[in-house]
A = this chain, B = another copy of it.
Amino acid sequence: MQRTKQPTMKDVAKLAGVTQPTVSNVVNGSESVSAEVRERVLKAIEELGYVPNALAKGLKQQRTNTVGLIIPDIESGFYGEIAKGVEKTLRASGYITFLCNTFYNPDLEKVYLNALIQQNVAGIIVAYPLVNKKIYANFNKFNIPLVVLDDKVEDESFTIPSVELNNISGSRLAVEHLYRTGAKRICFASEPLFSRALQLRYEGFRQAMEKFELEVDEQLILIENNQYDKIKMGYNLGAQILLNDAVDAIYASSDNLAFGIMKRLQEYGIKIPEDIIVIGYDDVPLSELISPTLTTVSQPKYQMAKKGSEILIKMMNKEENETTEVMYEPSLIIRQSSIKAVKVNS
C-alpha cells in the first residue's frame, strides 16, 4: 500500500512552466491569467491528475467546506429523512457533511463537538435537543455558525437560529380529528418530555382537549420516565393501556411509539380502528406501510432539513446576520388507523 505521492500545485507549475501561485489562480479563477497560460496549466493538471488539497486550502483560508450534522439515531425513519435533506442541500452548495450519531449520549455529544471544532467545520446543524445543554454555550464560545432543528434554544446571552414545527397546532389537529370521530376517552402516550417539542405537544394536547370540551382523564396520560427504544416503549405503554377499559382513542407523541402500541394491542386481539383509534406523530415512511396504515401528524421533515441547511449556508457565507426563527405548520394525514368502516346508507 505504498501511497504514491500526490502531485501538488508545485508539480503542475513545473510541468506548465509557470509559478505555483499562477496555478492557484487558474484553479480558483481568482486573478486573471492569459488564455495561453491557463490552457498550459489546465493541460498539466489533466496530465498529472492533480487534485487540490482541501486541508492546505482550509488551513490557509481559515475556512473549510465541511459541516457537522449532529443527530441521535440515523437508523430511525425520522432522522434518516432529515439527514438526507441536510446532506443533499449542503452538497448542492459544495459542502460535505460529517455524520455525528450520538445515540442521545451526552458524552458522545461532547466528543463530537470537539472533533468538529478540531476539523474547523464551517458550520453545524443540530437536529434534536441535545441532552447536554452546556454544549450550546460552547458553540457560542467558538463562534461556529449553528442551526438547530426541532428545538429552540433560549438563553439570555445568545440566540440560535432554529427551524421548528408548530407542535401546539399539531396536537390541535390530532385532538380535533379524534373529536370528530366521536372519541371521548382519549389517551395521551409519550416518551419522556425531555424536549421543548414534546412539552409543546403535551401542552397542545391539553389546550385542545379543553377547547373541544373533552375531559382529560389523568389515568390516561401515560408519559414514560426513561428514554429508550421508542418501539419497545410503545409496546410497554400498550400493556398499560390494556389495563384501562373504555379507551376510545390513543394519541401517541411519535409514530414509532404508536407502532409499538399497535403491536401490543393487536397481539391482544384489539382491532384498530374498530375498537381503538390510534394517531401518531411524524409521518415516518413506515406509517403508510404498517397495517392498518397510521393516521399521523405530518412534519415536513425534508423541507425543515432543507430550510435549516439554507439558513446555515447563508450564515457560513456571512450573507445574513440576523437570527432567524422559522416555524412550519404540521398537517394531518388521515389513514386507516382512525377511520372506522363507513356505513353506507342506501
Interface residues of A (CB under 8 A from B): 1-4, 6, 49, 51-56, 58-59, 64, 66, 69, 73-77, 80-81, 83-84, 87-88, 91, 96-101, 108, 111-112, 114-120, 141-143, 145, 231, 259, 263, 266, 285-286, 289-291, 315, 318, 321
* CA of A178 to CA of B258, assembled, Å: 33
Interface pairs (10), CB distance under 8 Å: A1-B315, A1-B318, A51-B118, A55-B120, A56-B59, A74-B80, A96-B112, A98-B99, A99-B99, A263-B289
Report B-chain residues with C-beta under 8 Å of the C-beta of A51.
114, 117-118, 142
Report B-chain residues with C-beta under 8 Å of the C-beta of A2.
143
Residue of B nearest to A292 (CB): B291
Q: How many copies of this kind of chain does the complex include?
A: 2
* CA of A286 to CA of B6, assembled, Å: 45
Report B-chain residues with C-beta under 8 Å of the C-beta of A315.
1
Is B49's CB under 8 angstroms from A55's CB?
no
Q: Looking at the complex, which one of B69, B115, B285 makes contact with A99 (CB distance below 8 Å)?
A: B69
Report B-chain residues with C-beta under 8 Å of the C-beta of A259.
289
* CA of A85 to CA of B335, assembled, Å: 34
Task: Check A74/B66 contact, CB under 8 A, given A51-B118, A55-B119.
Answer: no
* CA of A143 to CA of B26, assembled, Å: 26
* CA of A75 to CA of B69, assembled, Å: 15
Report B-chain residues with C-beta under 8 Å of the C-beta of A4.
143
* CA of A1 to CA of B318, assembled, Å: 8
* CA of A74 to CA of B75, assembled, Å: 8
Is A1's CB under 8 angstroms from B81's CB?
no
Task: Check A87/B101 contact, CB under 8 A, given A75-B81, A143-B4.
Answer: yes
Task: Check A119/B96 contact, CB under 8 A, given A75-B80, A84-B74.
Answer: yes
Is B75's CB under 8 angstroms from A84's CB?
yes
Report B-chain residues with C-beta under 8 Å of the C-beta of A116.
96
Report B-chain residues with C-beta under 8 Å of the C-beta of A291.
266, 290-291
Report B-chain residues with C-beta under 8 Å of the C-beta of A266.
291
* CA of A143 to CA of B51, assembled, Å: 14
> 4 tightest A-B contacts by CB?
A291-B291, A99-B99, A75-B80, A54-B118
Is B59's CB under 8 angstroms from A289's CB?
no
Task: Check A98/B101 contact, CB under 8 A, given A118-B52, A263-B289.
Answer: no
Is B59's CB under 8 angstroms from A83's CB?
no
Residue of B nearest to A259 (CB): B289
Is B54's CB under 8 angstroms from A3's CB?
no
Is A3's CB under 8 angstroms from B143's CB?
yes
Interface centre among A55, A76, A117, A321 (most CB of B within 10 A): A55
* CA of A315 to CA of B263, assembled, Å: 45
Is A145's CB under 8 angstroms from B66's CB?
no
* CA of A108 to CA of B88, assembled, Å: 10
Report B-chain residues with C-beta under 8 Å of the C-beta of A6.
142
